[in-house]
């Protein structure tokens, strides 16, 4: 099996790419899985891992290549929203047969593909996580190669409803755009990193104020980590904020989700689970 690694977002270093290749060499010793990092992933263009055109072309190339069996996002950051509109119309039937995995900024492309009917997209560890934690890398590899349910966020085993997961900032920016998928009846899982709590509160105000989001089956909250300090203290925890806005808007709050910007991030396949 060949897994294509592409960068749709911020700069991605050759050192990080070499570390990912070293992880595969050390942990996939039977040759059953080959990881291929697109050469354009190492390009630099200001903040981005190459200009918009080169990042879009690399993603389309691997997505449409029948010799690539799955696509794994290299890293997050920022930039995928700048290429999604150009990428999606170019994807072929071959692209629809693959699994796609990532989180953070990759959520923009995952959302657009899910809206377009792609059946195998998931929020979960990215290729960069392979050099941070072997368990996260193995979890990602298990889902990319077989869709292994052992990699899933635990609540998915007991709740038959369709699900989706996003970084809160990403989904808040997506609502109302052409990339926003229909999440009616879905269990929506949210996580966040490196934000002060007043911004979490403001994003929840905006998100839960959308008619489309009020049609979800409920919200689960993943980890809100590396919180930037408020001065003065905001006075509510992240969970209290989410509970409050769910209560105000009539969205059921369903409890915790085992997702986040960390090594324990579990896989959330979008939509219903296979029977």
pLDDT, tens digit only, all 275 positions of the chain: 999 999 999 999 999 999 999 988 888 889 899 999 999 999 999 999 999 999 999 999 999 999 999 999 999 999 999 999 999 999 999 999 999 999 999 999 999 999 999 999 999 999 998 888 889 999 999 999 999 999 999 999 999 999 999 999 999 999 999 999 999 999 999 999 999 999 999 999 999 999 999 999 999 999 999 999 988 999 999 999 999 999 999 999 999 999 999 989 999 999 998 76
Provide the H-helix boundaries in 13-133.
14-27, 52-64, 84-87, 93-96, 107-115
Secondary structure letter of residue 226 according to DSSP: S
CB-based contact 157:201 (threshold 8 Å):
no
C-alpha 78 chain-centroid distance: 12
Burial zone of 1 (CB within 10 Å; 0-12 exposed, 13-18 middle, 19+ buried): middle
Q: Which long-range contacts (CB under 8 A, 24 or more apart) does 179-183 make?
A: 179/81, 179/84, 179/85, 179/108, 179/111, 179/112, 179/115, 180/111, 180/115, 180/212, 181/111, 181/112, 181/114, 181/115, 181/270, 182/115, 182/212, 183/212, 183/213, 183/215, 183/216
- Pairing state of beta strands 268-269 and 187-193? unpaired
- Residue 240, classed as helix, strand or coil, is helix
Contacts of 113 (CB under 8 A, 6+ apart): 88, 91, 100, 121
Among the listed residues 265, 75, 31, the one whose alpha carbon sits nearest the alpha carbon of residue 151: 265
Give residue 22's pLDDT: 92
Question: What whole-number distance in Å separates Cα of residue 267 and Cα of residue 150?
Answer: 9
Question: For residues 84 and 107, what is the distance between their CA atoms, to the nearest angstrom?
Answer: 11
Which pLDDT does position 31 carry in this prediction? 86
CA-based nearest residue to 64, from 122, 14, 6: 6
Q: What are the φ and ψ backbone dihedral angles of 59, each rounded to 5 degrees?
A: -65, -45
Residue 268 β-bridge partners? 123
On whether the pTM is more than 0.95, the answer is: yes
Pairing of strands 253-256, 218-225: parallel
Cα–Cα distance, 246 to 204 (Å, whole number) = 9
């Amino acid at each position: 099996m060949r897994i294509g690694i592409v960068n749709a977002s911020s700069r991605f270093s050759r050192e990080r790419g070499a570390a990912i290749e070293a992880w595969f060499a050390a942990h996939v010793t039977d040759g059953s899985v080959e990881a291929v990092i697109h050469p354009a992933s190492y390009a630099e263009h200001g903040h981005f891992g190459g200009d918009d055109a080169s990042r879009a072309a690399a993603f389309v190339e691997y997505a449409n290549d029948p010799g690539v069996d799955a696509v794994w996002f290299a890293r997050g950051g920022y930039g995928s929203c700048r290429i999604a509109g150009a990428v999606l119309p170019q994807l072929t039937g071959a692209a629809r047969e693959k699994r796609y995995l990532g989180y953070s900024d990759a959520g923009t492309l995952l959302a657009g593909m899910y809206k377009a009917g792609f059946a195998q997209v998931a929020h979960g560890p990215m290729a960069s996580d392979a050099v941070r934690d072997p368990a996260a890398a193995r979890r990602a590899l298990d889902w990319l190669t077989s869709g292994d349910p052992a990699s899933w966020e635990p609540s998915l085993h007991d709740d038959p409803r369709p699900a989706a997961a996003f970084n809160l900032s990403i989904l808040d920016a997506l609502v109302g755009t052409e990339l926003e998928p229909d999440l009616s009846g879905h269990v929506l899982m949210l996580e966040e990193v490196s934000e002060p709590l007043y911004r979490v509160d403001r994003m929840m105000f905006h998100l839960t104020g959308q008619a489309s989001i009020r049609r979800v089956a409920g919200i689960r909250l993943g980890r809100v980590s590396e919180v930037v300090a408020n001065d003065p203290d905001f006075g509510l925890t992240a969970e209290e904020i989410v509970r409050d806005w769910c209560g105000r808007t009539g969205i059921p709050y369903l409890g915790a989700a085992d997702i986040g910007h960390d090594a324990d991030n579990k896989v959330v396949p979008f939509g219903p689970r296979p029977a």
